[in-house]
Structure 1
């Protein structure tokens, strides 16, 4: 993966998948089965940033049909990016997902995502780890 994350020591790697011959690459870290952080890399972007944000909403809306997504165009280290902030499953298991999707000039796409329980103290922890991981994340050149 051409990106580096800095996470608190209590986050444990729980999955690593994909490779050059099996895209996308992804790594998942977990904190006590409550907060999950995921970094995904596509060597070639599968779609535009706007379409990726729409797909994120559609994915979460597929659970209970109650997803609410806020999408904000932004940038990351000079690259075009989009931030999506979604809540879903409000009646059963309220969940919040924050995603930063980045498109590099050579058409790679990265997605930093944190899933956390909504309306709990763990939401504050999840938001904090998302912001810290985003602020410290480094994307390398090929």
Structure 2
């Protein structure tokens, strides 16, 4: 039987992230990490999505066993962060498969919350299980039984 990988969870699907991403498209300064204190809505979305603000995320000490692909998130380019988060089960890109503009801001809180170190993530139901073919087998068995 083929074991299919679980679909990636999308950062853009977390509360407020997609709307803020659209706003950052119109106002690129919104996604500038150096200007984040000028935009309280970024912290509000971070708190809603991850259960902690950007400053609180920076204050959390990283565990000793923190994986290498998640170290120095603030120094890495958004393009380099995409495979790091895919390894963690997260899609951090937009519909055109480009890294989200807000990814440099949300990378650390997402990593902390996703790994259970600090903060929380909103509940996400497990994906539906693929349909089995037991109904087709049952129908075939019924057809064979009627022919007897």
Greater percentage in helix: 2
- TM-score by structure 2 length? 0.25
- TM-score by structure 1 length? 0.25
Greater percentage in strand: 1
Greater C-alpha Rg: 2
